[in-house]
């Protein structure tokens, strides 16, 4: 497995790697490197006997995190007794026959087996044991029990064992373990190899140091697109206006305020991107001048603001594109499809996601949305009310499947 060439497909994923006392413990060092190279953050937990084979310091240096080794050390900080919050999976590699037995029946006499009883996330166990043990009826029964509970147990491989015997007992190859982690956490990696630039949220155009013009965009749709693209294997940069949302992990986030800042940031990342999804609600107009001091109302009966047109970012990007696929959004209140089609053509886009923001339960601020996706090749797909996260997946599938005539770069699996 070419470590340095591995795409960071596991970025944003938090893993716990449990290492038990088998001679194959040294292979967990390389497994840790492979998982880290794929972008995962990994906390290592070792049983006491594992520390007899490999020093915790090795894992500590390579993971960049403190290694948990003992129940008693863990008690100093009770949180170490539980699987770290937000962990996406626990991987036990290598797992001894003794550890399989403890995991199967729920014994909790060391830090790793205690943690397992608190795990809410999926688990992958890669056993390693000496000749004959794997076929012993108790081991077979424990594996059956674990699998019945949904634990993924990777069969050990056949070959020469440390004892000199040739039997089924070698730890599954590193590539198999990494593949199992990927298949578990990234079930659909159809955006692997793509670099997706997403804009989200409103922009704020300053009137004076305390006032601005903005709009009702919450940013939820753009954040959902960024998260979905990440989950499907893409590298993602999210350029976001001010929102109340927590940005998705594993995504590079650029915070901006005005349409100009958003334009500048998107232009900077444009050459890098293969696909741009413009979900931001960018201001169309901005005050021609910003007052340096807070404007006073004293003596005034009315106020007229002089607004100038803000940069049309999509039109700008469209004019300078090389091979990027451009996807716009159209938030409309009437004649949704006709207006969206005019924007698709006018801005030179490959696809546009049109939605009626007056629809009950959809649009600004809502967790749900309904949309029609139009593409330059004449395709039209309607999606009823659903969560923005689910709609994001449908939008990505539509963009991936754009008719070849309107693609400016390949969206297929690479
Ligand atoms: N957009 C943009 N720059 C702007 C305004 C909009 O890049 N200054 C993008 C939006 O992010 C969206 C698409 O253009 O992807 C359509 O935005 P929308 O506000 O619906 O369209 P406008 O072109 O502004 O037209 P109108 O406001 O007249 O409907």
Q: What is the mean pLDDT of residues 274-303?
A: 94
* Ligand 1: nearest atom to the Cα of 352: 15
Average pLDDT score over the chain: 91
Tens digits of per-residue pLDDT, 32-84? Answer: 999 999 999 999 999 999 999 999 999 999 999 999 887 666 555 555 577 77
Separation of alpha carbons 199 and 201, rounded Å: 7
Question: 152 pairs with which residues across the strands?
Answer: 124
Q: Is residue 170 part of a domain?
A: yes
Q: Whose CA is nearest to atom 5 of ligand 1?
A: 282
Answer yes or no: do 171 and 261 share one domain. Answer: no
Q: Is the pLDDT of residue 411 over 60?
A: no
Residue numbers of the domain that contains 81:
14-185
Instruction: From 162, 185, 208, give the residue that closes a domain.
Output: 185
pTM, two decimal places: 0.78
pLDDT at 360: 77
CATH code, domain carrying 266: 3.40.50.10300
Q: Is 239 touching ligand 1 by the criterion CB < 6 Å?
A: no
Q: Is residue 293 part of a domain?
A: no
pLDDT at 1: 34
Q: In percent, how much of the chain has pLDDT > 70?
A: 93
Element (H, E) at 307: strand 307-309
Instruction: From 185, 205, 228, give the residue that closes a domain.
Output: 185
Per the structure, how many domains does the chain have? 2
Is residue 76 packed enough to be buried (19+ CB in 10 Å), middle (13-18) or exposed (0-12)? exposed
DSSP-derived 3-state class of residue 238: strand
Tens digits of per-residue pLDDT, 121-138? Answer: 999 999 999 878 999 999
Q: Is the pLDDT of residue 408 over 90?
A: no
**CA of 281 relative to ligand 1 center, distance in Å:** 7
Please choose from 202, 315, 343 the residue to mutate so as to test ligand 1's pocket, defined by most ligand atoms within 8 A of CB: 343
Q: What is the mean pLDDT of residues 363-376?
A: 88
DSSP-derived 3-state class of residue 326: strand
Q: In percent, how much of the chain has pLDDT > 90?
A: 76
**CA of 330 relative to ligand 1 center, distance in Å:** 7
Q: Is the pLDDT of residue 404 over 70?
A: no
Instruction: From 134, 157, 185, give the residue that closes a domain.
Output: 185
**CA of 282 relative to ligand 1 center, distance in Å:** 6
User: Taking the alpha carbons of 304, 219, 401, 235 in that order, is the dihedral positive or negative?
Assistant: positive
Q: What is the mean pLDDT of residues 230-257?
A: 95
Answer yes or no: do 54 and 102 share one domain. Answer: yes
* Ligand 1: nearest atom to the Cα of 259: 8
Answer yes or no: do 176 and 33 share one domain. Answer: yes
């Amino acid at each position: 497995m070419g470590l340095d060439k591995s795409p960071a497909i596991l970025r944003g994923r938090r893993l716990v790697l449990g290492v038990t006392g088998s001679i194959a413990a040294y292979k967990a060092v390389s497994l840790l490197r492979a998982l880290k190279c794929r972008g995962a953050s990994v906390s290592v937990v070792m049983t006491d006997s594992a520390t007899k084979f490999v020093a915790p310091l090795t894992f500590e240096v390579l993971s960049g995190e403190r290694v948990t080794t003992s129940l008693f050390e863990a008690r100093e900080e009770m949180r170490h007794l539980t699987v770290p919050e937000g962990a996406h999976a626990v991987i036990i590699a290598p797992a001894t026959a003794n550890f399989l037995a403890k995991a199967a029946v729920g014994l909790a006499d060391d830090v790793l087996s205690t943690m397992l009883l608190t795990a809410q996330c999926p688990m992958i166990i890669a056993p390693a044991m000496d000749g004959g043990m794997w076929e012993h009826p108790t081991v077979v029964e424990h594996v059956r029990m674990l699998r019945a509970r949904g634990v993924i147990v990777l069969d050990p491989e056949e070959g020469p064992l440390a004892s000199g015997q040739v039997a089924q007992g070698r730890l599954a190859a590193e590539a198999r373990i990494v593949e199992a982690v990927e298949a578990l956490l990234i079930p659909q990696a159809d955006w692997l190899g793509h670099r997706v630039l997403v804009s989200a949220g409103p922009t704020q155009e300053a009137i004076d140091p305390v006032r601005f013009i903005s709009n009702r965009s919450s940013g939820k749709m753009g954040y959902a697109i960024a998260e979905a693209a990440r989950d499907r294997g893409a590298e993602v940069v999210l350029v976001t206006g001010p929102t109340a949302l927590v940005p998705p992990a594993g995504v590079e986030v650029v915070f901006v305020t005005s349409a100009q800042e958003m334009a500048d940031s998107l232009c900077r990342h444009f050459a890098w991107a293969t696909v741009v999804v413009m979900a931001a609600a960018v201001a169309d107009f901005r005050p021609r001048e910003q007052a340096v001091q807070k404007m006073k109302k004293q003596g005034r009966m009315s106020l007229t603001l002089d607004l100038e047109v803000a940069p049309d970012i999509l039109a700008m990007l469209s004019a300078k594109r090389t091979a990027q696929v451009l996807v716009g959004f159209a938030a409309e209140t009437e004649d949704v499809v006709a207006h969206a089609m005019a924007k698709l053509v006018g801005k030179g886009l490959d696809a546009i996601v049109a939605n009626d923001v007056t629809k009950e339960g959809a649009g600004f601020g809502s967790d749900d949305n309904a949309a029609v996706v139009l593409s330059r090749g004449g395709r039209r797909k309607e999606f009823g009310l659903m969560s923005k996260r689910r709609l994001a997946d449908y939008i990505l599938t539509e963009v991936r499947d754009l008719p070849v005539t309107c693609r400016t770069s390949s969206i297929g699996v690479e």
